[in-house]
Amino acid sequence: MNPYYRKTVIGGNWKMNLLPSDVDRYAEALIGSIPHPCDAELVLAVPFVSIPAAISAFSGSGIQIAAQNVSEHSSGAFTGEVCAAQLFDIGVRRVIIGHSERRLYFCETDAIINNKAHAAIFGGLDPIICVGESAEVRDTGCACELVAFQVKSALSGISAQALSRIVIAYEPVWAIGTGNVATPQQAQDMCSHIRSVISGIYGSAAAEAVSVIYGGSMDENNAGELLALPDIDGGLIGRASLSPAAFSKIVQSSEKALKQFGGI
- What is the contact surface with ligand PGA in residues (CB under 6 A)? 13, 171, 176-177, 215-218, 236-240
Is 1 or 226 the residue whose CB approaches ligand PGA more closely?
226
Is 48 or 261 the residue whose CB approaches ligand PGA more closely?
48
CB atoms within 10 A of CB 264: 12
What is the smallest separation between the CB atom of 58 and ligand PGA, expressed in angstroms?
A: 19
CB distance 133 to 180 below 8 Å? no
- C-alpha 166/C-alpha 155 separation (Å) is 9
What is the smallest separation between the CB atom of 246 and ligand PGA, expressed in angstroms?
A: 10
CB distance 224 to 257 below 8 Å? yes
Is 58 or 214 the residue whose CB approaches ligand PGA more closely?
214
Phi, then psi, of 194 in degrees rounded to 5: -60, -40
Which residue has the CB atom at the shortest distance from ligand PGA? 238
- Choose, from 41, 72, 99, 255, the residue flagged as catalytic: 99
CB distance 132 to 216 below 8 Å? yes
99 is catalytic: yes
171 is catalytic: yes
- 81 Cβ contact list (under 8 Å, min separation 6): 71, 73
What is the smallest separation between the CB atom of 216 and ligand PGA, expressed in angstroms?
A: 5
Catalogue the active-site residues: 99, 171
